[in-house]
Amino acid sequence: MLRPKQPRAIALVLALGLATVPIAYAQMPGGPPSVGVVRAQQTAITETSEFVGRVQAIERVALTARVTAFLDQRLFTEGTEVKQGDLLYRLERAPFEAAVQQQEAAVADASARLTNANIQLARAQSLLSTPAGQRSNVDDAVANQRSLAAQVLSAQAQLKVAQINLDYTEIHAPVAGKISRTSITVGNVVSPSSGPLASIVSQDPMYVLFPVASRVQAELQKRYADKGGMKAVVVKLRLPDGSIYGQEGKIDYVEPTVSATTDTILLRARMANPARNQADAGQPVERTLVDGAFVNVLVEGIQPVMALGIPREAVLSDQQGDYVYVVAANNKIELRRIQLGQSTPTTAVVAGGLKEGEMVVTEGIQRVRPGIEVNPGPASPPPSAGKS
């Protein structure tokens, strides 16, 4: 009864045996692995150096009271921007107005007495040529006239001081910028010893200060010496969120001394800081750069330079340094140690270890090792290539 089933069993075994043939064939070596290669060639590179910097307002003013008086009014909104000359605080004026009137009266009194002294001097001088005239009377009249003239000058000076003190009861913005919160509220007595009432920091433009190692600064100066020195570089900023700031700046100051503790020299760039919104009166204005914030400073050459470049993804690193895989003339892989120069996020500049025209592996790197034969082909272009 089992005999009829034997042909079916034999057919099943044969089928299984035949099914294993293609699988075994697929696992056999299919020739050298394919890799994508790029030819090392001269490329226009914009040299970039990156440093850590801090934003600093160009102008900063602490508002203080110049006289002792009650604070009557605060005429600004905290945290908003004010214009130069805006009235910010008004102090009690009545005592200072009275002082001005008092000094005006003193000037009028001294002027009247000086006028009388001038008349007396003229009379004494006219009588000097007559028998009734005496030299001593003229001398006394001259001394009295000069004394009263000095009193008039003193009274005028006191009037000027009183007027200055009256003007100090109004505190105006000496610069334009964003004003802080007020530290003393209306109704309190303020004086020069009360400390700052508020502070103003300018907003546009801003300074960015960043320390650079003295060796690096010397290299930058030498690199751009024939292009105008440090003024020939463009300064860009990378913000804390990783984005690149939309404004460019220029270096306008280099510290004349090197820090003895850090061996760094301070550089300063000037950056525009335009408003990002159209704020209504009394509303805060939004700007990107904030006084005191940390940023990454990118110092770029104003013109690209030609250098031997390869894609950044072709460069590998180990404990001995940077290296690439090169396809030799016999399609065999060579490990080549290289020295990198000033590079960009996408292009590695090769300063040594590689010649122009050599083929560097950029795709399939995980499938190669020194000495094996490969099947090289053009590497796939970047995703953005070919798009306008």
CATH number of residue 316's parent domain:
2.40.420.20
Query: CA separation (Å) from 183 to 74, 175, 178, 198?
Result: 11, 19, 15, 6
Mean pLDDT of 5-28: 40
Q: Are residues 40 and 54 in the same domain?
A: no
Strand 375-378 versus strand 34-39 pairing type: parallel
Q: 267 in a domain, yes or no?
A: yes
Q: Are residues 315 and 372 in the same domain?
A: yes
Q: By the 8 A CB rule, do 258 and 264 touch? A: yes
Q: Are residues 136 and 160 in the same domain?
A: yes
First to last CA, the chain: 78
Round to whole Å and give the CA distance between 33 and 372: 9
Q: Are residues 192 and 259 in the same domain?
A: no
Q: 22 in a domain, yes or no?
A: no
Q: Are residues 66 and 178 in the same domain?
A: yes
Query: Structurally, how many domains does the chain consist of?
Result: 4
Which structural domain range is residue 141 located in?
94-167
List of residues 6+ apart from 352 with CB closer than 8 A: 338, 339
Q: 387 in a domain, yes or no?
A: no
Q: Are residues 195 and 79 in the same domain?
A: yes
Q: Are residues 261 and 343 in the same domain?
A: no
Round to whole Å and give the CA distance between 275 and 83: 15
Among residues 142, 167, 192, the one where a domain terminates is 167
**CATH number reported for the structural domain that contains residue 228 in this entry:** 2.40.30.170
Burial of 163 (0-12, 13-18, 19+ CB in 10 A): middle
Q: 23 in a domain, yes or no?
A: no
> Tokens standing for 231?
């003024």
pTM for the predicted model, two decimal places: 0.64
Query: CA separation (Å) from 7 to 4, 17, 20, 120?
Result: 7, 15, 20, 158
pLDDT digits (tens, 9 = 90+) for 319-344: 888 999 999 888 888 899 988 876 66
pLDDT classification of 7: cutoffs 50, 70, 90: very low
Round to whole Å and give the CA distance between 385 and 388: 8
Q: Are residues 39 and 53 in the same domain?
A: no
pLDDT classification of 273: cutoffs 50, 70, 90: very high
